[in-house]
Amino acid sequence: MAPLWNHFYRGVKKLMFVVDTSNLCQISAAGVLLYSLLSEPQLRNSKILIVLAKMDASYRQMRNEALLMLQMKRLKKEVAQDIAIIQASSYSKEGIDEIKKWLQ
């Protein structure tokens, strides 16, 4: 699906990128995909929300590891976009109100 995304970039003001933190094997791949998205000229002025999903109590210690795997420090230095990060859990409802507020 990712190769088709560039057909929808024009006029995007906000982009929410959701990472499933329960799947450790996919976090690094998500980071590569995110980096390629943020390199797109049409998204240069977009605000970006990265949602670390499935951050339930059992995964609480994974936040720093997930951010390392996504290379967030490097990413924030190299891209022009404003990036926000929210931890979320549909189970506990953590982060849901923050996501709604960001979307407004």
The full DSSP string for the chain is: -GGGGGGG-TT--EEEEEEETT-HHHHHHHHHHHHHHHT-GGGTT-EEEEEEE---GGGTTHHHHHHHHTTHHHHHHH--SEEEEEE--TTT-TTHHHHHHHH-
Q: What are the boundaries of each domain within the chain?
A: 13-103
Written as six digits, the tokens of 58 are 């059992």
pLDDT < 70 regions, the chain: 1-2, 57-61, 63, 68
Placement of tokens 């490097």 in the chain: 74
**Per-residue model confidence (pLDDT) at position 55:** 75
What fold, for 13-103?
Answer: Rossmann fold (3.40.50)
Residue type, 21: T
Under 8 Å between Cβ of 5 and 37: yes
